[in-house]
Amino acid sequence: MEWGMANRMSKLIQSDGRCLFLPIDHGYFQGPTRKLEQPRKTLEPILDYADAIFITRGVLRSSVDPDKAKPIILRVSGGTSMVGKDLANEGITTSMEEAIRLNVAAVGISIFVGSDYEKDSLLNLSKLVDEGEKYGIPVMAVTAVGKELEKRDARYLALASRIAAELGARVVKTYWCENFDRVTGGCPVPVVMAGGPQVDTELEVFEFVHDGIQKGAVGVNLGRNVWQNEYPVAMIKALRAIIHDNATPKEAQAIYDSIKSKKKKQKTA
Ligand code: 5RP
């Protein structure tokens, strides 16, 4: 691996082989999503605990100070919205020159395997990889399912993740699912897990993240289940413990509960 590529990869995946990416890119198709209405406000308390952030250029420029930033994974696909015809019909929104100007550690793009735009999104990935490899910039492929959340099973996610790796993605972001080892086992590049919409309890998040790590994921790219939580700092610290300190879900829950109760006391004092 070229020096530049290796250096950028090491900014993403830490020396223990694990990573906690924090995505706040959701506005690029969802608009001002709940708790991400003001990205700067959402990000400030939790930024220090992330290994990298996944973000668009607009929010990066407007809401992250360059002297306090973490490694950036720049979201460079888009062009569709929740209210448009088909979320899968994405194009590349940001040039590689812009990514270099923003001094990114990686760029990220969604692929929509099985959709009407499968071929377009896969060719977009391939072109982005060609450009990224020229300059030593890794591409993270996001196996997106649009509004069809029920697609998230091992058979589909293993297929989509493998295709992303075959086309040259250096990291694959996919969803956790039952039998997650089928996904990691068939994907020759590091796999990180997204969370999807917020789930009912913190413990559910800790359990799936822990399970995914045991089954070969190198970490997470977890957004709504962190910053839509009432206690996002507690949530991200508990997740760090699972990812970087091998905490169990129960230990993570104890970390969450203790930070939450301190925060509650501060609020009532
Ligand atoms: C949507 C994305 C997000 O980065 C990804 O889905 C992770 O966020 P969450 O954990 O909230 O699903 O690609 O734009």
The per-residue pLDDT for range 17-67, each reduced to its tens digit, is 999 999 999 999 999 999 999 999 999 999 999 999 999 999 999 999 999
Please indicate, yes or no, whether the overall pTM of this predicted structure exceeds 0.75.
yes
Three-point CA angle 107, 61, 83, nearest 5°: 70
- In single-letter form, the type of residue at position 18 comes to R
Query: What span, in angstroms and rounded, lies between the C-alpha atoms of 267 and 269?
Result: 6
Q: Ligand 1: distance of its center to the CA of 269 in Å?
A: 36
Query: What span, in angstroms and rounded, lies between the C-alpha atoms of 183 and 76?
Result: 24
- 41 belongs to the catalytic site: no
Pick from 22, 142, 152, 228 the residue to mutate for probing ligand 1's pocket: most ligand atoms within 8 Å of its CB.
142
Which atom of ligand 1 is least distant from the CA of 110?
A: 13
Residue holding tokens 């040039």? 95
Write the pLDDT tens digit of every residue in 108-156: 999 999 999 999 999 999 999 999 999 999 999 999 986 676 777 999 9
For the chain, which domains are there?
3-229 (3.20.20.70)
Please state the φ and ψ torsions of residue 190, each to the nearest 5 degrees. Answer: -55, 140
Residue holding tokens 């407007």? 62
Query: What span, in angstroms and rounded, lies between the C-alpha atoms of 103 and 126?
Result: 21
**267 class by beta-carbon count within 10 Å (0-12 exposed, 13-18 middle, 19+ buried):** exposed
Tell me, using a 6 A CB cutoff, whether residue 223 lines ligand 1: yes
